[in-house]
Amino acid sequence: MPKAILVDTSRCTACRGCQVGCKEWKSLPANNTKQWGSHQNPPDLNAYNFKLVRFSEHLIDGDVRWYFFPDQCRHCDYPPCMATAELEGSIIQDESTGAVIFTEKTKGEDFEAIREACPYNIPRKDEKTGQIVKCDMCIDRIQAGMQPMCVKSCAMGAMQFGDRASILKKAEQRLAEVKKEFPKAQLLDSSSVNVVFLVMDDPALYHEFAIASAPEPKTRHQWLARLVQPFNAVKVKNI
């Protein structure tokens, strides 16, 4: 049965436990970074950070408001990256979980094409290995009966993991609660992804690519292209 993750930003305190937990579990090296005027660190996703808590600051009605967004791959039901891939087996989707996996064969793919196909601007290239990388939903942990590391690391309970149907039901229930205080609250692209975000306000206040309909013509075009492009990669029952 497909799995899903609910990311409830109304409970996120930007502690970055998920970001650190992901990095530690994947044994990803440290980044050379610097102070660039934001608490968001590193500045963006990269080959060594598959999870990034984004900090967005806005002046609204005379008050400064923070919007936290633990960004990661959404593991789309019909991944545009997978549809764009030229090499068989370079990008695969595990049927038992819905996890979208980038394999070593992505070294032979056109990185810019893969990245532009993603409506959430997620894929990154490891310049040392040539491989295109991103979150894999901790497929190894799931197969061992554990939660993804980001979910396990979240002390505030902002992230939940389970069977997709159950998570979507919980998401709708939580949305109804949050809407009582934040009428603009919504679930982002819940019908087409397996990592569902609950936000309290306009998605654009959180991140440019918070939703698939982000105002980037090329990204939108690539997202819609999945409706007509044949899938060149494969779905696999077990990884």
In 175-218, the DSSP E strands lie at: 186-188, 195-199
46-72 pLDDT, tens per residue?
Answer: 999 999 999 999 999 999 999 999 999
66-79 pLDDT, tens per residue?
Answer: 999 999 999 999 99
Q: What local confidence, expressed as pLDDT, does residue 232 receive?
A: 46
Q: What local confidence, expressed as pLDDT, does residue 36 receive?
A: 86
Do residues 124 and 25 share a domain?
A: no
Long-range contacts of residues 179-183, Cβ cutoff 8 Å, at least 24 apart? 182/10
Is there a domain that residue 112 lies in? yes
Is there a domain that residue 209 lies in? no
Q: Which domain holds residue 160?
A: 3-74+144-202
Phi, psi of 116 (to 5 degrees): -65, -25
Q: What is the CATH number of the domain that holds 125?
A: 3.30.70.20
Q: How many domains does the chain have?
A: 2
Pairing of strands 63-71, 52-60: antiparallel
Do residues 56 and 10 share a domain?
A: yes
Share of the chain above pLDDT 90, in %: 84
Q: Which of 8-17, 26-35, 207-216, 225-234 has the lowest mean pLDDT?
A: 225-234
Do residues 7 and 70 share a domain?
A: yes
Average pLDDT over residues 127-136: 98
